[in-house]
Amino acid sequence: MFNLFKKVLGMTNDAIKDVAPKKRKNIPKDEFEDILLEADVHYDLVERLLEGLPNTINRIQAFNSLISVFQYKADFKESDVKPFVEMVIGVNGAGKTTTISKLAYHYQQEGRKVILGAGDTFRAAAIEQLSRWATKLDIPIIATQQGHDPSAVVFDTIESAKAKGYDNVIIDTAGRLHTQTNLSEELKKMIRVAGKAQEGAPHRKMLILDGTQGSSSINQAKAFNDMIGIDGIIITKLDGTAKGGSVFSIADELKMPIFYIGTGEQPKDLIRFKANAYINTILDEIFI
């Protein structure tokens, strides 16, 4: 786990080394502040994290301060209901389709039967990309033509899963700008239709956030949460940015479960987020 977090936080840790090139047992408080800001932790949060810390900080004190960000009640929604229906949400370019393939592969490895629903009917490219992943992973997919009603895809996918005994349903959604009213209404309709196809569905609404956007992705998350209510977050592309500290800001602002972190482009490149491992990977670059 630690090696995987080291891989995903590689660029962030390189940025930290620019601020603190030498590992030590203790570091000055103002240097710790510079490190957090360099890693894209929001300024107001940095100030709160530094409150009560001495002028010279050791690893234990740093860890206790950072882990406090994740001490909120988070509902990691899990259920034995079959099929378990997940709706994957996020703006275009965040890595939504690739993340769906990763989730599907993850469930496959656990011995579960998975079916996909190509609910982003706004873009032909989205349907084609998800269909290619389905073929590559040998997973069935319910897809239609560009411009068709995405709610019909939702209904047909869930009905097919029920009829054929699938364990997991993963449904893609359109990723147009979150400010558009039509997208809001479309998502709400898809959720209503899912509930008609199976009581309680979707059981989990997962938001994909692009880690390269750093703390700015928080506004996206708030908008989607206001629209439909988000159950958890998957953060992508952290391996391609020095803004790995934005995870602290995301957790602090949203108080939502962070389920997974993307670690690359392949289906296997998805790991469970563990706050302890995440923090220790950063501190390994600072302290002896």
Closest of 31, 36, 94 to residue 66, by C-alpha:
36
Q: What tens digit of pLDDT does each residue of 144-163 get?
A: 999 999 999 999 999 999 99
pLDDT value for 230: 95
Closest of 244, 184, 171 to residue 210, by C-alpha:
244
Virtual CA dihedral for 252, 76, 226, 194, nearest 10 degrees?
Answer: 160
CA distances from 169 to 20, 31, 155, 165, 234 (A): 46, 47, 11, 11, 17
- Kindly state the tokens that stand for 245: 């500290």
Q: Using only C-alpha atoms, what is the Rg of the chain?
A: 20
Those residues whose C-beta lies under 8 Å from the C-beta of residue 248, and which sit 6 or more positions away, are: 36, 41, 42, 45, 66, 69
> Which of 38-47, 60-69, 187-196, 207-216 has the least mean pLDDT?
207-216
**What is the rounded distance in angstroms from the CA atom of residue 154 to the CA atom of residue 251?**
30
pLDDT value for 176: 74
Tell me the β-bridge partners of 114.
168
Q: For residue 79, how far is the Cα from the chain centroid?
A: 19
pLDDT value for 79: 84
pLDDT value for 61: 98
**What is the rounded distance in angstroms from the CA atom of residue 89 to the CA atom of residue 72?**
23
Q: What is the mean pLDDT of residues 215-236?
A: 89
Please check whether residue 90 is in contact with residue 253, taking contact to mean a CB–CB distance below 8 angstroms: no
Those residues whose C-beta lies under 8 Å from the C-beta of residue 149, and which sit 6 or more positions away, are: 121
Terminal-to-terminal C-alpha distance of the chain: 20
- DSSP, res 215: G
Q: For residue 26, how far is the Cα from the chain centroid?
A: 33
Q: What tens digit of pLDDT does each residue of 249-263 get?
A: 999 999 999 999 998
Tell me the β-bridge partners of 57.
27
Percent of the chain at pLDDT above 70?
97
**What is the rounded distance in angstroms from the CA atom of residue 186 to the CA atom of residue 191?**
9
- Kindly state the tokens that stand for 282: 């950063």
